Chain A
Amino acid sequence: MARGVELFLRTMIARAYPRIIGATRERSWLFFETVMPLLSTAAYVFFYRAINAPKEYIGLVVVGGAMTAYWLNVLWSMSSQLYWDKDAGNLALYIAAPGSMMAILLGMAAGGLIMTTTRAAIIILGGWLLFGVEFSLAYWALLMLAFAITMAALYGMGMLFASLFLLFGREAWHISNLLQEPIYLLSGFYFPVSQLPLWITAAASIVPLTLGLDAMRQLLFPSNPTFGFLGVDVEIAALLALAVLFIGASRFALAYMERLAMREGRLTERRR
């Protein structure tokens, strides 16, 4: 048991290592991955200003813009990463090695978190300094809890996606691309999700960021009652359920897809 845990952790650290080292080798990513996305988020801020939106909406956009970093990380550095790894010939090595695929995926996530969290933090900081967004920290403990559970559910979903992407060829890139803007829309990254029709919001709640963003916004901007889709406690409970569901499902899906990919000879295929 102890040896299994040690192997899991060592695998995770080993997969996180090249990403962390990679990030420190070419530091100019700090510009392209932080300043540029901040400017992109600022465009939505100025759009809201141009149509005379209440100031809480500026904060709403800043939080949404920051959270795009995590969605992009899950899509590109986790879900479709196995496709890239397959292409580079690493996937077969992962399968042949004694470590678990879940540890490898968690390592990817942990390694990517430096860039992702830096990007999110710069957007939040930029929102505060440049646009004077006032975040309420009255419920900071609940905010941390909501963020942590959202991340657990989101990365669980990423692991589940990764298992599906094991079977994909060139379409993996396009599927990831396709999952960007529609999720920005359905999860309400730039507007309160409660403004969408109920059935759309209910369906979109399967993406953890929908409820996670809504809960965090309610906690950060308690003075604006229009932001909430459900109560924060309900949203946290639902996120917890999603986290358990996705992490549990990804464990089975990874094992199943790995077997299927072995049977169909897809682990080393390079459909270009």
Chain B
Amino acid sequence: MSEAARSFRVATWLGWQIESNWADPFLFLVYSIVKPVTSVMILVVMYWVITRTDTSGAYFAYMYLGNTAYIYVGSILVGVSWAIIDDREHYQTLKYIYISPIWIYFYLLGRGMARFLTGTLSVAITMAFGLLALKLSIRLAEVNWLYFAASMILGLASMAVMGLLLGGATLQMARHYWSVGESVAGALYLVCGAIFPLDSLPGWLRPVGMALPLTYWLESLRRSLLGSEASKGISPSLAQFSDGQLLLILLVSTLIMAAGSIYFFRWSEHQAREKGLIDMTTHY
């Protein structure tokens, strides 16, 4: 257990150093502001071009919150899968990690944690921009903070295990899959109701969204910040679930995915060892 904790702690520290010490703090801050704000501004402009309305409505807040929270999905999924490529091919240290007293599963979780920290910076900046510049309809005094915390803990856990699933897959891939994390995050963006309600999807695609823990995480997060009724009004297909049921589904689906990720990661690791992929370098 102490080895798992140490692996996690050291990897978090290492990941943070890699993410943040490439530039001086001012440049890092500019980078941290520009990227998330421009990302969310794409949607804001799209919304404004069509509706020409102000940004204080409930639907805008629904979309904005989903997009902002989704920064975590991109950060953690990309973080874990990229850590494999980075350590294997860039730093060429993956083989040394394997011969060290480190638990690789928790090492990767730690690298994901570092991305979570940089992601939190982006989320905080984007939320501040939304509240101050775009007048989002969120009343901080009315936020259900307990429900928010429970939703965040379960949501982050589900993203971590999804990241490990992707990490396992990346172990068996060449470097031209550098974008695998972004690709998967981009695809999930469609089906989990990040920027529009699931009801906007075609009927055959909706069950895919309903099977993902991310869907329940985003919905519970919105209910905690916007209020249950506002969120239910926008997303009727999820309105059938009570606040408690959402968290329960999130918990159960995360546990199932965690079990799957442990099994899949072990299998991928075995495959990678068998095929000599642990110290593979690919360069196209």
Q: What is the interface of chain A, defined by CB distance below 8 A to chain B?
A: 18-19, 22-23, 25-26, 28-29, 32-33, 35-37, 39-40, 42-44, 46-53, 57, 72, 76, 84-85, 87-88, 90, 111, 115, 169-171, 173-174, 177-178, 180-182, 184-186, 189-192, 195-196, 272
Q: How far apart are the CA atoms of A50 and B38 in the complex, in Å?
A: 22
Which 6 pairs from chain A and chain B are nearest by CB? A40-B186, A36-B183, A22-B284, A50-B196, A39-B187, A43-B190
| B200 CB within 8 Å of chain A | yes
Q: What is the interface of chain B, defined by CB distance below 8 A to chain A?
A: 22-23, 31, 34-35, 38-39, 41-43, 45-47, 49-51, 59, 63, 90-91, 173-174, 176-180, 183-184, 186-187, 189-191, 194-197, 200-201, 281-284
Determine if B46 and A44 form an interchain contact, defined as CB atoms under 8 angstroms apart.
yes
Query: Min CB distance, B189 to chain A, in Å?
Result: 5
Determine if A40 and B190 form an interchain contact, defined as CB atoms under 8 angstroms apart.
yes
Determine if B201 and A51 form an interchain contact, defined as CB atoms under 8 angstroms apart.
no
Determine if B180 and A32 form an interchain contact, defined as CB atoms under 8 angstroms apart.
yes
21 A-B pairs whose Cβ atoms sit less than 8 Å apart in the complex: A19-B284, A22-B176, A26-B176, A28-B173, A32-B177, A32-B184, A36-B184, A46-B201, A47-B46, A47-B63, A57-B50, A76-B179, A84-B283, A169-B22, A174-B23, A185-B38, A185-B39, A189-B42, A192-B49, A195-B49, A272-B90
Determine if A185 and B174 form an interchain contact, defined as CB atoms under 8 angstroms apart.
no
Q: How far apart are the CA atoms of A66 and B190 in the complex, in Å?
A: 16
Chain A interface main SS type: helix
Given A32-B179, A36-B183, A191-B49, is A18 in contact with B284 using a C-beta cutoff of 8 Å?
yes
Determine if A40 and B189 form an interchain contact, defined as CB atoms under 8 angstroms apart.
yes
> What A residues does B187 contact at CB under 8 A?
35-36, 39-40
- A43, closest chain B residue (CB): B190
> What B residues does A19 contact at CB under 8 A?
284
Given contacts A40-B183, A48-B46, 13 further A-B contacts (CB under 8 A): A22-B174, A32-B180, A35-B187, A36-B184, A37-B186, A39-B186, A43-B186, A178-B35, A181-B38, A182-B34, A190-B42, A192-B49, A272-B90
Given A171-B23, A182-B35, is A111 in contact with B284 using a C-beta cutoff of 8 Å?
yes
Determine if B186 and A174 form an interchain contact, defined as CB atoms under 8 angstroms apart.
no
Q: How far apart are the CA atoms of A171 and B195 in the complex, in Å?
A: 31
> What B residues does A23 contact at CB under 8 A?
176, 284
> What B residues does A181 contact at CB under 8 A?
35, 38-39, 42
Determine if A171 and B22 form an interchain contact, defined as CB atoms under 8 angstroms apart.
yes
Determine if B46 and A190 form an interchain contact, defined as CB atoms under 8 angstroms apart.
yes
Determine if B41 and A33 form an interchain contact, defined as CB atoms under 8 angstroms apart.
no
Query: Min CB distance, A12 to chain B, in Å?
Result: 15
> What B residues does A115 contact at CB under 8 A?
176
Determine if B173 and A53 form an interchain contact, defined as CB atoms under 8 angstroms apart.
no
> What A residues does B197 contact at CB under 8 A?
50
Query: Min CB distance, B280 to chain A, in Å?
Result: 12
Given A39-B186, A40-B187, A170-B22, is A88 in contact with B38 using a C-beta cutoff of 8 Å?
no
A43, A72, A191: most-surrounded residue (chain B CB, <10 A): A43
> What B residues does A177 contact at CB under 8 A?
35
Query: Min CB distance, A260 to chain B, in Å?
Result: 21
- B60, closest chain A residue (CB): A51
> What B residues does A182 contact at CB under 8 A?
34-35, 38
Given A181-B35, A182-B35, is A87 in contact with B90 using a C-beta cutoff of 8 Å?
yes
